[in-house]
Structure 1
Amino acid sequence: MSTVRTIKGIELIDEALYVPAQRSDIQLHVRHRRPAAMTTFSPQRTIVLVHGATYSSGSLYDVPFNGISFLDYLAAAGYDVYALDVRGYGRSTRPPEMDQPAGQHPPLAGTDDGVADLGSVVDFVLKHRHLEQLNIFGMSWGGTVAAAWTSRNNARVHKLALVAPQWLNDQPTRIDSGGDPGAWRLIAVRETLNGWLSAAPEHARDRLIPAGWFDQWADATLAEDPWSQSHTPGKIRAVSGPIQDIRDYWRVGRKYYQPADIRVPVLLVHGEWDIDVPLAIARVLFSELENAPWRQWLEIGESTHMLLLERHRMLAWNAIRDFYDRDYHPE
């Protein structure tokens, strides 16, 4: 089912798609947005996005602050945009173990599953649009998923953009509180504000997120897990597979993929106050993207790991659009 909305004077098709995963019992929810007037489709103007380890694509990419979301922005800029929810997130199939006590099962939906689900959606879009390539975007854990999939499928990727992607880090991370992670975890959404703001210097915290934005984001995020409304009000479920992968790979110096295997143009966007992916970590990853035909780094000042949802979000949005727009060929 699709609807038509007008953003910045441009009519956009907005629809929810469901794409079969490799497992027949899993359906992947995909938010699709494009200009209503778009009649021709190309690798250069097609983007598939994947989210991070805790929040769905709806939470990270489709909250319309001041009337426009990141997905709206990309579509209004002339892109055919698809944002998937990995199994266990958002409106995609929740594994049945998520309806049972978390301690009864091992961590669910790790990076292997994320890569497989991204591949399923890319396969769908390429077939649907009769294309051989498209653009990929990922944030945080989604950056791992996007980069790993690209490293194994370069011929199918036009460009790759990453925001604060994971990389090797032997320091404790906020997402991993220790102990048995269980199959899934509960996130008290409205209680995350202090942790979000704490990444910024104290003098800047009152201006990091404009007034009303956090509550709008929290409402949208809670709506991504309707189960929580009746079972755990104020909290959403998130799978623990990505946390187990932090322990099995990133904390112990094991690379889930080889950046040198990526052979497409890459943009890396990072926030000055990102304590989840510190600057030194992102710099190492950037240096290892040595076989990309060209690569670009963008540092956004006064921004945290959640920079796409903050005061300076337009600096990142514009840079991501410009990266995909640019027809650059090194001399």
Structure 2
Amino acid sequence: MTSKYASGGPELVFEQYRVPTGDTGIELHVRNKRPASMTDFRADRTIVMIHGATFSSGSLYDVPFNGMSFLDYLAAAGYDVHALDVRGYGHSSRPPEMESPAGDSAPMVGTDTGVHDLGVVVDHVRSLRGLARVCVFGMSWGGTVAGAYTSRNEDKVEKLSLLAPQWLSDKPIPIDAGGPLSAYRLVPVREAKARWLSTAPEHGRATLVPDGWFEQWADFTLAEDPWSQGRTPDLIRASNGPIQDIRDYWRAGRQYYDPSDIRVPVLLVHGEWDIDVPIDLAQAFFLELRNAPYRKWVEIGEATHLVLLEKNRLLAYQAIRDFFDEEFVPEVSLQNR
């Protein structure tokens, strides 16, 4: 289908498709938006996006606040954007264990699975568009998945943009509430606003999320897990594999991957009020990116971990777009010309 971007914007194509994973019964759902006029596909104008540990790519990247989502914004800027749902999330297939009571199985869909699923979609997009490389974006747990994938597949990645990726922590990580972990957890979507606002200082809470945005986001997010509608209204399933990995890696002082193995340009975006990935963790991660050809850090003021859904979302959108837009030539290269 095609649609108009905001008021007077370019016409966009919106397609949804499914990609087999090679595992029986498991397919990945992908949202694709691009300009309707686009006929020439390039690595530097093609982006594959992956979500975090709780909400799907649709929930995080495609809710049209004021008529425009993050995917709309990037597509209108001339990008061919493919946002995938890892198995167990959004409209992708659920592993059989996630169709049974949560307590029947161990935590499902860990970071290994996320890296695999991201790789499946990257390869699909590369084949679909006839490209050797694509750009990659991920936030939170998805940033960990994207970073790990890039560290092992630099020949397939043009540029990497990360929003608040996980890193080693000697303090409790808010998403892990403690206690035994089952296959998945049920997330009370309509109750999320109080926790979300509590991560900002009191003086910033009233204006952090514009009027009506939370309700629009909650409705969209609940529709991303149709299974829950007749079983657990107002709750969605989120796999516990990423939380098990927090315990096995990030809180245990073990790196899941080595960021110094990333050898493509990197942008790190971070929100001033992010308590899920505090600024000291972001700085420690940034310093590990020492072998990237170049690296940039953009700090968004008055923003939490969910900056893409807040009043200052356009600052993050623009920083990410500008990074993918830029053609950076190191000064030493100019001197050698």
TM-score by length of 1: 0.99
Q: Deviations over 1:277-330 (max 9, x none)?
A: 000000000000000000000000000000011000000000100000000011
What is the rounded CA distance, in whole Å, between the counterparts of 2:96 and 2:15 in structure 1? Answer: 26
- Residue 119 of structure 2 is matched in structure 1 by 119
Deviation at 1:22, TM superposition (A): 3.1
What is the rounded CA distance, in whole Å, between the counterparts of 2:146 and 2:310 in structure 1? Answer: 23
- Residue 326 of structure 1 is matched in structure 2 by 326
What is the rounded CA distance, in whole Å, between the counterparts of 1:125 and 1:70 in structure 2? Answer: 19
Over aligned residues, Cα RMSD in angstroms?
A: 0.6
Deviation at 1:46, TM superposition (A): 0.1
Q: Deviations over 1:65-113 (max 9, x none)?
A: 0000000100000000000000000000011111211111010000000
What is the rounded CA distance, in whole Å, between the counterparts of 1:140 and 1:38 in structure 2? Answer: 30
- Residue 82 of structure 1 is matched in structure 2 by 82
Establish whether residue 272 from structure 1 lines up as the match of residue 272 from structure 2: yes
Deviation at 1:25, TM superposition (A): 1.9
- Residue 49 of structure 2 is matched in structure 1 by 49
- Residue 190 of structure 1 is matched in structure 2 by 190
In structure 2, list runs of 5 or more residues that go unmatched.
332-337
Establish whether residue 237 from structure 1 lines up as the match of residue 230 from structure 2: no
Establish whether residue 35 from structure 1 lines up as the match of residue 38 from structure 2: no
Q: Is 1:260–1:291's contact at 8 Å kept on the other side of the alignment?
A: yes
Establish whether residue 158 from structure 1 lines up as the match of residue 153 from structure 2: no
- Residue 298 of structure 2 is matched in structure 1 by 298
Residues 242-261 of structure 1 correspond to what in structure 2 (within 5 A)? 242-261=242-261
- Residue 334 of structure 2 is matched in structure 1 by none
Runs of 4+ in structure 1 displaced over 2 angstroms?
none
- Residue 2 of structure 2 is matched in structure 1 by 4
Q: Is 1:22–1:117's contact at 8 Å kept on the other side of the alignment?
A: no
Per the alignment, in what secondary structure is the counterpart of residue 229 of structure 2?
helix
- Residue 101 of structure 1 is matched in structure 2 by 101
Q: Deviations over 1:17-40 (max 9, x none)?
A: 101113132100000001010000
Deviation at 1:6, TM superposition (A): 0.8
What is the rounded CA distance, in whole Å, between the counterparts of 1:209 and 1:169 in structure 2? Answer: 28
Per the alignment, in what secondary structure is the counterpart of residue 66 of structure 1?
coil
Residues 133-212 of structure 1 correspond to what in structure 2 (within 5 A)? 133-212=133-212
Deviation at 1:171, TM superposition (A): 1.2
What is the rounded CA distance, in whole Å, between the counterparts of 1:174 and 1:231 in structure 2? Answer: 27
In structure 1, list runs of 5 or more residues that go unmatched.
none
Per the alignment, in what secondary structure is the counterpart of residue 28 of structure 2?
strand
What is the rounded CA distance, in whole Å, between the counterparts of 2:239 and 2:36 in structure 1? Answer: 35
TM-score by length of 2: 0.97
Deviation at 1:170, TM superposition (A): 2.1
> Taking every aligned residue pair, what percent have the same amino acid on both sides?
64
Establish whether residue 20 from structure 1 lines up as the match of residue 28 from structure 2: no
Structure 2 residue identity aligned to 1:18: R
Number of matched pairs: 329
Q: Is 1:22–1:116's contact at 8 Å kept on the other side of the alignment?
A: no
